[in-house]
């Protein structure tokens, strides 16, 4: 094993797949000459050249369309958005074309493409640069949605996403690029659609994904001091969702808390709550509790932003609520 940063795990995954398959290329704003806005493509221009590591204009609709069209001629593009907030400019291409090419062509064309970049908040970036769109994309048949929380998962999942024959939305975080973690020296791949139990427990199940799962870890450490055992499931892939892993855990613990950095209306936590009431209702000893951001645009004020975001104290309160403590 070696210890590397999250950004290095992303770079290694892309580079290894580009060495393996000449049809893979990277396209996006500042990915080449600048080595990536977050240095996640450092050194790739030097290794692969300007035909495979392509700087684009600030025109997300245009380069998303170019990349999607190139899949129909045998390519496997990776499109980097500086933030998924900017993907809204090109979302028509993602939703109306990438997600539907296979069906609308009667299976004549597939669309092996990865759209990657940071999602959700990252400090004082203002309302328009602090939005989480996992549930938006996960609502669309034809798209797969991946949200890793650490370097090991990021590398293994990104390699799987690049090899997948369907479009994959791969969502990272500006606040995770510097995170360090252990990654194997050799090649490995993590299959999409498989959740991971990060911490085993017996009293309550906590389901989360992405950078916000760190708050669940903090809460579990504090609760352990009080004799409360938390099982933490990292979804890793939002769609397809590992429903079996969630259901089996709830059958064991009989309680569920869902932690998600997203607005509360119609999000991933809502889907998980429906899943449990439909498939594990008789196992519940308490109503499901979900923890989300406030139902407002993200504030710029640091004091308001701290209040807006879920934190480990919210998780502790939720766990105690489902335990009637």
* Mean pLDDT value across residues 11-28: 98
How high is the pLDDT of residue 293? 98
Mean pLDDT of the chain: 98
Confidence of residue 160 (pLDDT cuts 50, 70, 90): very high
CB 242 within 8 A of CB 195: yes
**According to the model, what pLDDT value does residue 121 have?**
96
312, 222 in Cβ contact below 8 A? yes
Give the DSSP H or E segment for 46: helix 44-48
Mean per-residue pLDDT, 160-175 = 98
The reported pLDDT for the residue numbered 203 is 98
Give the distance, in angstroms, between the CA of residue 302 and the centroid of all CA atoms in the same chain.
25
Task: Report pLDDT for 45.
Answer: 98
Domains in the chain with CATH codes: 2-183 (3.40.50.970), 196-322 (3.40.50.920)
Query: What would the pLDDT profile of 225-255 be if each residue is shown by its tens digit?
Result: 999 999 999 999 999 999 999 999 999 999 9
Residue 265 has what pLDDT?
A: 97
DSSP helix/strand/coil, 99:
coil
Residue 318: closest CA among 270, 267, 259, 260? 259
User: What is the Rg, in whole angstroms, of the alpha carbon atoms belonging to the chain?
Assistant: 20
Q: Looking at the chain, which runs of residues are DSSP E strands?
A: 2-5, 24-28, 53-55, 76-80, 114-118, 144-146, 168-172, 180-183, 196-199, 204-208, 230-234, 237-239, 256-259, 289-291
Residue 104: enclosing H or E segment and its boundaries? Answer: helix 101-104
Percent of the chain clearing pLDDT 70 (strictly above): 100
Buried b (16+ CB within 10 A) or exposed e, 262-280: bbeeebbbbbbbebbeeeb
For the beta carbon of residue 81, count every other beta carbon within 10 angstroms: 24
**Average pLDDT over every residue of 95-109:** 97
- pLDDT, residue 270, reads 97
Instruction: Indicate the pLDDT class of residue 168, thresholds 50, 70 and 90.
Output: very high
Is 182 buried (19+), middle (13-18) or exposed (0-12) by CB count in 10 A? exposed
Which residues is 230 bridged to in the sheet? 204
Q: What would the pLDDT profile of 61-100 be if each residue is shown by its tens digit?
A: 999 999 999 999 999 999 999 999 999 999 999 999 999 9
Q: What is the mean pLDDT of residues 261-289?
A: 98
Residues forming the active site: 60, 129
| Residue 197 bridge partners (DSSP) | 233
Structure confidence at residue 143 as a pLDDT band (50, 70, 90):
very high
Partners of 239 in beta bridges: 145
Q: Give the pLDDT confidence score for residue 220 in this predicted structure.
A: 98
């Amino acid at each position: 094993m070696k210890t590397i940063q999250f950004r290095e795990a992303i770079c290694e995954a892309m580079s290894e797949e580009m060495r393996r398959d000449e049809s893979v290329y990277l396209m996006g704003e500042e990915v080449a000459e600048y080595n990536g806005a977050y240095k996640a493509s450092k050194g790739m221009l030097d290794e692969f050249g300007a035909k495979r590591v392509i700087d684009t204009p600030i025109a997300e609709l245009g380069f998303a369309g170019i990349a999607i069209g190139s899949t129909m001629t045998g390519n496997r593009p990776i499109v980097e958005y500086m933030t998924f907030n900017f993907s809204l400019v090109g979302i028509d291409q993602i939703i109306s074309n990438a997600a539907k090419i296979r069906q609308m062509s009667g299976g004549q064309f597939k669309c092996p493409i990865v759209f990657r970049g940071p999602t959700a908040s990252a400090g004082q970036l203002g309302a328009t640069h602090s939005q989480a769109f996992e549930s938006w994309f996960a609502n669309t048949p034809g798209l797969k949605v991946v949200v890793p929380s650490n370097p090991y998962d990021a590398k293994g999942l990104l390699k799987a996403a690049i090899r997948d024959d369907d479009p994959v939305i791969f969502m990272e975080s500006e606040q995770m690029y510097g995170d360090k973690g252990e990654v194997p020296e050799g090649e490995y791949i993590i299959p999409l659609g498989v959740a991971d139990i990060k911490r085993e427990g017996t009293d309550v199940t906590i389901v989360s994904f992405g950078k916000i799962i760190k708050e669940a870890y903090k809460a579990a450490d504090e609760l352990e001091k009080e004799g409360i055992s938390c099982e933490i499931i990292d979804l890793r892939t939002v769609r397809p969702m590992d429903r079996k892993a969630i259901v089996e855990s709830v059958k064991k613990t009989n309680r569920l808390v869902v932690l998600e950095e997203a607005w509360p209306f119609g999000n991933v936590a809502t889907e998980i709550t429906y899943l449990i009431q439909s498939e594990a209702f008789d196992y519940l000893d308490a109503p499901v509790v979900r923890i989300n951001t406030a139902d407002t645009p993200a504030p710029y004020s640091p004091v308001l932003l701290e209040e807006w975001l879920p934190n480990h104290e919210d998780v502790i309160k939720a766990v105690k609520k489902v335990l009637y403590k």
